[in-house]
A and B are shown apart, each in its own frame.
Chain A
Amino acid sequence: MSPEFVIASIVTIIGLTTPILLAGLGELITEKSGVLNLGVEGMMLMGAISGFVITALTFNPWLGVIGAAAGGALSSMLFAVLVLQLNSNQVATGLALSIFGTGLSSLIGVSFTGRIVPQFGSIFPDALAKDPILKLFFGYSPLVYFALAMVPLTAWFLKSTRAGLILRAVGENDHSAHSIGYSVTGVRYAAIAFGGAMAGIGGAYFSMVITPMWAEKMTAGRGWIALALVVFAGWRTGRLLAGAYFFGFLMWLELFAKANGFGNSLPFVQAIPSQFWAAMPYVMTVVALTLISSRGNVGASAPACLGKPFLPST
């Protein structure tokens, strides 16, 4: 394996990882506030089409990303009103959002199929971005750096800021947070909107960076992977980053194994059906859940109020 091959493969893995990392970070914040939003797939698609449409109309991918965040956040507000205002079932409403987002994005996208949009230029000079070695650091879309920057920011926000503490309090014990005067509903609105915006940007990574085009259902189920990722990570930011790259690595490994990348050097590995690698993210999530619960600290990892409607007694 040449260094060029390793670097090119890392670039591929980062491409596979970035959208699920973005959506996973958003869902992490949403779930930390005690809300389970299963609509990630729908929000990603809404972000993908919003970003694409805005870019097609303004010829500016930066505005497109803002549009993607807005599209994801707006669609999440539909969910937010239903679960926070009307106390509807979060699971059913989240699934409905996924179906709704899939359908609405297809509808909006009808007249944008086959359109070509301008792409992000590199934010670094070509000498760095196109260099076969240095592209490992400089050769990515701005959204990749954004996703990576959001990881420590999210961790810092949750751990070291007052707002993050309130968010966690709302997610762990909504009634206590309410009784000392915090707006549970307000915090959750904000958390859901953030989750929607991040899912939207994750979706835009598909329609604006990987394959700059619009195609119906183009996220092809990555929203569900992002949901699995949050559970896999045990609701921790650092583990979310590691998990996202682990999932990305498994996705790459499937393709590498299929292309006979192992050659005949590792007959044992070659004999493993490639579907095995494809199933791994989900298998690993189940394994992680089992490990967490076998240690008996499920309560310590999942936010205690996750998925429960907030019904103040007064």
Chain B
Amino acid sequence: MTTLNRRSLMKAAGAAATLSLVGTAARADDKIKIGFIFLGPIGDYGWTWAHNKGREAVDAALGDKVETIYVENVMEDASAIPLIRDLAQQGCKLIFTCSYGYMDQTLAVAAEFPDVKFEHCTGFKRTDNVATYNSKFHEGRAVLGTIAGKMSKSGTLGYLGSYKVPEVVLGVNAFALAAQKQNPAATVKLVLIDSWFDPPKEAAATETLINLGCDIVTTHTDSPGPLQILEQKGLYGFGQGADMSAFAPTAHLTAIEDIWGPYYVARAQAIVDGTWTSTDTWDGMKEGTVVIAPYNAAVPADVVALADGVQAGYKDGSYDIFTGPIFDQDGVEKVKAGEIMTLEQLASIDWFVKGVESAS
């Protein structure tokens, strides 16, 4: 570069920012290697933190037979492909790609390595060596919505999300529907910030939702930042992915905890035993993948009873928030009275229910 050109510099800077850190948990050549592709930093105290807990569970349970390798901060674009491929070339027999946005990248690398097994989190495309697994986070959202609908004074709830992907759409809809069961007039203002992890933007979005009249804000992004804002303002919210009560002792009503360990251990064991097959697993509260953290003292006893009722209903199969009639934002009936949405319908949902306020 002979002359200085700031525009090209900014481009180079962007490219540099995509560089990721590679971490190796243990070293031993005779062990079966298992790789993990992580979306955020393992210290995000949310989504990736929970997945890393699952990885640590594999180490703890099968550490004498397997070794785990992870790559964190992997972007959901073409740059994921060489990183997934690198794990396969390092000899990993099983690779977990832990976010929806790695779907086609996982399939592309899986086609190159037919002997390596892949597991794509929250996706729906499977092949002989690509399995998918998901968690029914929306069951947890129904519990949060029940609490929010009952406790909100303004009836205006905030939902801070990342992207319009099925997991988030399901979360928004379950939250809104459950809130409307408690308060039929409840509305949910939705902000999708186009990022899973951006604490300052999450904080500013939370402030904006509060300024627009929301008195309870639930987050579907991965940092505890929004809870800290709610704590400062004396309002309420919920933890995402992990118990975040340490960051907001008063504002943190409860949290959805993602428990990946049992699934990861079972799948790693299947590789060790040679019994792995491509499956689609979508566990929830019943199986213990989605867990509701302890309630804050601020949740009144009658609200606790309602929330526990939703949990019990999911565990014994008597409750499903996606039971019709369900209307979309324009008031069109999408699910008829008495019908329950199928898993296929849930997995590809792309519309919001009535009462969700959002822009493009």
Contacts and interface: CB of A to CB of B under 8 A. Distances in A.
Contacts of B358: 258-260
A289 B6 contact: yes
B211 A9 contact: yes
A36 B357 CA distance: 45
Interface residues of B, number: 53
A115 to B, nearest CB: 9
A110 B41 CA distance: 11
B350 to A, nearest CB: 16
A234 B7 CA distance: 14
B204 A16 contact: yes
A282 B6 CA distance: 12
Interface string B220-233: 00011100110000
B177 interface: no
Contact of B208 (A98, A255, A270): A255
B169 to A, nearest CB: 15
Given A259-B191, A261-B208, A98 B17 contact: yes
A199 to B, nearest CB: 14
B4 A255 contact: no
Contact of B10 (A5, A16, A228, A278): A228
A32 interface: no
Interface string B80-102: 00000000000000000000000
A259 B200 contact: no
B314 interface: no
A140 interface: no
B45 A215 contact: yes
A211 B1 contact: no
Contacts of A256: 208
B323 interface: no
Nearest to A41: B17
Given A259-B191, A278-B194, A289-B7, A216 B41 contact: yes
Contact of B200 (A216, A222, A260, A282): A222
Given A36-B4, A91-B12, A289-B7, A210 B43 contact: no
24 contacts: A8-B207, A106-B41, A114-B45, A116-B247, A206-B199, A206-B200, A211-B202, A211-B203, A213-B199, A213-B224, A215-B223, A217-B41, A222-B200, A224-B17, A227-B10, A255-B201, A256-B208, A258-B205, A259-B212, A274-B192, A275-B194, A289-B6, A306-B4, A307-B4
Interface of B: 1, 4, 6-7, 9-10, 12-14, 16-17, 19, 21, 40-41, 43-45, 73, 158, 189-195, 197-205, 207-212, 223-225, 228-229, 246-247, 357-360
